[in-house]
Structure 1
Amino acid sequence: MFTLVAGAYRYLTRVDEYNVLVLGLDGAGKTTVLEKVKQLATGVSGMAPDKIRPTVGVNIAKVHRERCVMRFMDLGGHSDLRGIWDSYFADCHAVAFVVDSGDRARLDEARGVLLGLVARAELAGLPVLVLANKQDAADVKALLAVKELINSVADELDGRDVRVLGASGVDGAGLQEAIDWLLHRMLENSAARPPASSGH
């Protein structure tokens, strides 16, 4: 009887866990986005944007939604740190690629890094959300420039789920929509990339 009750308890308290890699060039605002995601998830004010320092290693935020945990992992974006990205690919369920939409000079570099990511076998078929960040400071054409960047690599995306959203890690614009889109796409893709499950 105890085994039956324990099994039922484990089933009822099981939580599916999904890992979202937050990637992009250094200076794109990944950590600022992550701090705002934490604030949206908990209702507690996070670190002020002017106090945030570049990520060296991994910065993690968890968002609990619909009996799921979304674990956002912000990995350092400097070229010297991108080598650590590989070790997280096999266990991830989606990629959030953050672009500084106001930095036109580095859009080609961002395009090259994104192309390198979608070419990786470990990431095949995973949804990719491109966050055109810093919309609070960018001009009105900035989002269009990022969308054009994605259109230019459409042939390499292999028909996977890709979306471009304008966002701001400073004021949170677009981030709730981003979280909702990622969760929905990861759930739809769970047969191909099953979640990790644990009791909570």
Structure 2
Amino acid sequence: MSPIWSSYYGDCHSLLFMVDASNPTQLSASCVQLLGLLSAEQLAEASVLILFNKIDLPCYMTMEEIKSLIRLTDIIACAKQNITTAEISARKGTGVAGVLHWLQNQHRASS
């Protein structure tokens, strides 16, 4: 993550964090980045949607596998933020409507 990203946190009310569900070797790096975002004081009030992308590929990990590997239950329990998860395929559009609906609801709630 770029060191200047924190300068954009000030007006952030919603955070989309995408994880490549087909790449288990990058999962720990994604988890570290997520923990860094969740610990940022400026994002303490932001709602978070974690997107598990590439569910259309035959090699994608199941939600149960990912949740276990990154200890998602523990992360959610310790986070200040409201965290939601979704499985999507950006390439095929699967789940994207739900993401847009989530964003719309978050925008209404913060207005």
Bucket of the pairwise TM-score, normalised by the shorter protein: 0.7 to 0.9
Cα deviation, residue 146, structure 1: 3.0
Distance 1:123-1:137 versus aligned 2 partners, 3 A rule: same
1:154 to 76, 79, 104: 76
State the alpha-carbon separation in 1 of the partners of residues 67 and 108 from structure 2.
Answer: 25
Deviation per residue, 1:15-60 (Å, 9 max, x gap): xxxxxxxxxxxxxxxxxxxxxxxxxxxxxxxxxxxxxxxxxxxxxx
Structure 2: runs of 5 or more not aligned: none
Compare the two structures and name the one with the higher strand fraction.
1
Cα deviation, residue 140, structure 1: 6.0
164-173 vs 144-153, greater mean Cα deviation = 144-153
- Any conservation in 2 of the 1:136–1:171 contact (CA below 8 Å)? yes
State yes or no: 1:173 paired with 2:90.
no
State the alpha-carbon separation in 2 of the partners of residues 118 and 166 from structure 1.
Answer: 20
State the alpha-carbon separation in 2 of the partners of residues 126 and 166 from structure 1.
Answer: 20
Cα deviation, residue 121, structure 1: 0.8
State the alpha-carbon separation in 2 of the partners of residues 157 and 166 from structure 1.
Answer: 20
One-letter amino acid of the counterpart of residue 28, structure 2: D
2:38 to 118, 130, 139: 118
Cα deviation, residue 147, structure 1: 3.1
One-letter amino acid of the counterpart of residue 183, structure 1: Q
2:12 corresponds to which residue? Answer: 92
Deviation per residue, 1:173-193 (Å, 9 max, x gap): 1111011112213322x2xxx
What's the secondary structure of 2:3's corresponding residue? helix
State yes or no: 1:134 paired with 2:54.
yes
CA RMSD of aligned residues (A): 1.8
Compare the two structures and name the one with the higher helix fraction.
2
Cα deviation, residue 145, structure 1: 2.7
Percent of counterpart pairs with the same letter?
A: 28
Q: TM-score, normalised by structure 2?
A: 0.85
Aligned residues: 109
Cα deviation, residue 156, structure 1: 2.7
Structure 1: runs of 5 or more not aligned: 1-78, 195-200
State the alpha-carbon separation in 2 of the partners of residues 87 and 116 from structure 1.
Answer: 14
Q: TM-score, normalised by structure 1?
A: 0.50
Runs of 4+ aligned residues of structure 1 deviating over 4 Å after TM superposition are none
Distance 1:141-1:87 versus aligned 2 partners, 3 A rule: same
